[in-house]
Amino acid sequence: MALAHAIMTALIDDDLSGIELARDFETSLGFFWHASHQQIYQELHKLADKCWLNKREVHQSGRPNKIVYGITKAGRDALAEWVYGVTKTQSAKDELVIKLYNLSAENAVHLATEIGDRRQEMMRMLYVYEKIRVRYYSDPESLPTRSKGVYLALARGLGHGQQFMAWCDEAIALIAGAEDK
C-alpha cells in the first residue's frame, strides 16, 4: 500500500491539517501503517499536486496560519480504484527473528529478555486496542459499513497481538528450558 492511500483514507470523513493528520495517523492507521511526519507532509504535497487533495489556508489568531487538506473527487476515484486492485502481501522484517537463528547458550538470557520486552510492548498495544474496541466498536453488527471495516482492521490487530503474546510465552519457556540443558 502506498502512503498516499493511507492518507486519503484518513481524509475521507474530515479535512485535516498536516499535524492533525499525523496525530490521527499515530492513533489509528499508524497502528498498521507507519509513516513519519516528514513522509506524511511530503506525500500531502504530492497528492495536492496530483489534484487528489485540495488545500486551503485557515487563518488563526496568535498562531501561524495552517493548511487544511481534503480529498477531492479525483482522489476519491483514485482511492476507489485502488480498493479494487490486487492487495499485495508485505513480508515482515524483524531483526529478532534473525537473532533467534543465532540462539546459543551464551545469548539465551539476552534474547529471552528481548522477547519479554516485546511482549510488554504488545501488551500495552493490546490495552490501547481494547480500549478503542470497547469505546467505539462494542457492537460491530450495528456499525455503519465503513466503521465495520475499521472494526475488522482493529480485530485483526487484536488477534495478531494475542497470537504474538502466546508466541512470546512459548519462546521464553523454550529458551528457559534450553538454558537448563
Residue-averaged pLDDT of the chain: 90
The x, y and z cell numbers of residue 63, run together, are 498562531
* pLDDT at residue 143 greater than cutoff 90: yes
Report the distance separating Cα 41 and Cα 21, nearest Å.
Answer: 9
- 8 pLDDT band (50/70/90 cuts)? very high
- 180 pLDDT band (50/70/90 cuts)? low
| Cα 45 to Cα 7, 34, 51, 53, 67, distances in angstroms | 11, 18, 10, 9, 11
* pLDDT at residue 25 greater than cutoff 80: no
pLDDT for the residue 24: 81
Reported as a single tens digit per residue, the pLDDT across 146-175 is: 899 989 999 999 999 999 999 999 999 999
Report the distance separating Cα 130 and Cα 157, nearest Å.
Answer: 10
3-state secondary structure of 67: strand
Between the two ends of the chain, the Cα-to-Cα distance in Å is 46
In a 10 Å sphere around its CB, with 0-12 CB exposed, 13-18 middle and 19+ buried, how is residue 22 labelled? buried
In a 10 Å sphere around its CB, with 0-12 CB exposed, 13-18 middle and 19+ buried, how is residue 177 labelled? exposed
pLDDT for the residue 181: 56
